[in-house]
Structure 1
Amino acid sequence: MAIRKSGRVATRPVEDLAPAAALFHGLGDPTRLAILRRLADGELRVVDLTGELGMAQSTVSAHLACLRDCGLVAGRPQGRQMFYALARPELMDLLRAAEGLLAATGEAVALCPAYGCAEDRR
């Protein structure tokens, strides 16, 4: 999305926004966000993440595969182990901006009837 000097947003075809929508869809899972938050502190193995997040190995591996396929996480083999790290450090800037937006909107996003995190949706 480009902002013109007049302050108006330049319109683009919806198809041009598909990659951004895919990125936000990939980030739209709490487990993937938790994995990214942990990887922001440094590389980890699946076993490290399963212990810290209290999740099954298959769950963590599936989410890591999604993040890796999106180019957000990279794996580094070391012997028989794989160490995962953020592939794009600027992702943390995006997540910090999202946290700022959430702080500014209060509970409005969480209470959204379509996408909010009401108790019965968990």
Structure 2
Amino acid sequence: MALFHSLSDATRLAIVQRLARGEARVADLVAELGMAQSTISAHVACLRDCALVVGRPQGRQVFYSLARPELMDLLAAAETLLAATGYAVALCPTYGTDLAAEVVQETTERAR
């Protein structure tokens, strides 16, 4: 159940959604999400501990990416299920509304 716990936080979902577009450093995530470095680092550590994110060291920097791109399929399936049962929610209403809509649309198109 660590998987679902790690995805239960809006900030971690925003990080996952950002990393779905490509790797990023903590500094990049701080700039894009507008949160403190310590907050982002703690959330990235949680995602890393749950094996959802991996780091690629390059010199003094670490570039993070999704360990399993299939994670986005899981999130899309969850969103589709919630929509079908009348409990539709955005994957991340603050940061990921556009991506959530794209994921749901792609999933719906694949199902047709």
TM range (shorter): 0.7 to 0.9
User: In structure 2, how many angstroms separate the alpha carbons of the residues matched to 1:22 and 1:76?
Assistant: 23
Q: Percent identity?
A: 78
Offset at residue 74 of structure 1 (A)? 0.2
Q: Deviations over 1:14-52 (max 9, x none)?
A: xxxxxxx22111111111000000000000001110111
What is the alpha-carbon root mean square deviation over aligned residues? 1.7
- 3-state SS in 2 of match to 1:85: strand
Q: Is 2:8 aligned against 1:28? A: yes
Offset at residue 82 of structure 1 (A)? 0.6
CA contact (8 A) 2:79 2:89 kept: no
With structure 1 as the length reference, what TM-score do the two structures score?
A: 0.68
Question: Higher relative contact order at CA 8 Å, sep ≥6: structure 1 or structure 2?
Answer: 2
Q: Give the equivalent residue in structure 2 for 1:7.
A: none
Gaps of 5+ in 2: 91-112
Q: Give the equivalent residue in structure 1 for 2:30.
A: 50
- 3-state SS in 2 of match to 1:47: helix
Match of 1:68 among 48, 51, 56: 48
Normalized per residue, the structure richer in helix is 2
Offset at residue 108 of structure 1 (A)? 6.8
Gaps of 5+ in 1: 1-20, 111-122
User: In structure 2, how many angstroms separate the alpha carbons of the residues matched to 1:25 and 1:73?
Assistant: 14
Q: If you compute each CA radius of gyration, which structure gives the higher value, 1 or 2?
A: 1
Aligned partner of 2:47: which letter? L
Q: Give the equivalent residue in structure 2 for 1:38.
A: 18
With structure 2 as the length reference, what TM-score do the two structures score?
A: 0.74
Q: How many residues align?
A: 90
User: In structure 1, how many angstroms separate the alpha carbons of the residues matched to 2:77 and 2:38?
Assistant: 30
